[in-house]
Amino acid sequence: MIIGDSHARGLSGNVKNNLDEKYSVCGFVKPGVNIATQISSMTVDTTLLTKNDLIIFWGGANDVNKNNSQEGLKHLVNFVQSNNHTNIFLMCVPPRRDLSEWSCVKSETEVFNRKLSKLMKPYNHVVVVTTDTDRNFYTRHGLHMNN
């Protein structure tokens, strides 16, 4: 199961194309929303998932951009605690390539990702995945990663 903001657009299709047919992939992408909205608007019951399943969660850019990082992290901790019966990959917020080096949003993204990694250390069912920072992996505008 893939849950995310605009950064996860097209991810479920890419993952599905690279897996055997025996795997099922579903994606819930809501561009422009915060973590709380992503989690609350899911239409699938995650309690049915097991340790044989995986949730990939890629969100937080909108929380960081709107100076709401602490609230976003709180919702992620609650999500992780309530889904301890399955595996979770949390994608770090990708660094912004569309902003100048001195941008407060760029530094807040780094702070958010550090706090996310620190908060998730106690949870054995969670892996925090850092996105590559190479500019070649980003679209021309620099906000989103390319395929």
Q: Which residues pair with 88 in a beta bridge?
A: 55, 126
Query: What does pTM read for this prediction?
Result: 0.87
Q: Please tell me the predicted confidence (pLDDT) of residue 96.
A: 67
Give the domain CATH number at 14.
3.40.50.1110
Number of domains in the chain: 1
| pLDDT classification of 80: cutoffs 50, 70, 90 | very high
| pLDDT classification of 143: cutoffs 50, 70, 90 | low
Q: Please tell me the predicted confidence (pLDDT) of residue 8.
A: 80
Which residues, including other chains, have CB under 8 Å from residue 107's CB and lie 6 or more apart? none
Domain-embedded: residue 28: yes
What's the pLDDT tens digit per position in 16-70?
888 998 999 988 889 889 999 999 888 788 989 999 999 999 899 889 988 889 9
What's the pLDDT tens digit per position in 102-129?
778 778 989 999 999 999 999 999 999 9
Q: Please tell me the predicted confidence (pLDDT) of residue 61.
A: 86
CB 48 within 8 A of CB 42: no
Q: CA-CA distance, 126 to 122, in Å (whole number)?
A: 9
| pLDDT classification of 136: cutoffs 50, 70, 90 | low
Domain-embedded: residue 18: yes
Q: What angle do CA 96, 145, 32 make, to 5 degrees?
A: 70
Q: Which domain holds residue 54?
A: 2-137
Task: Find the mean pLDDT for residues 65-77.
Answer: 93
Residue with tokens 């620190």: 118
Domain-embedded: residue 119: yes
Nearest Cα to 86, choosing from 31, 47, 58, 137?
47
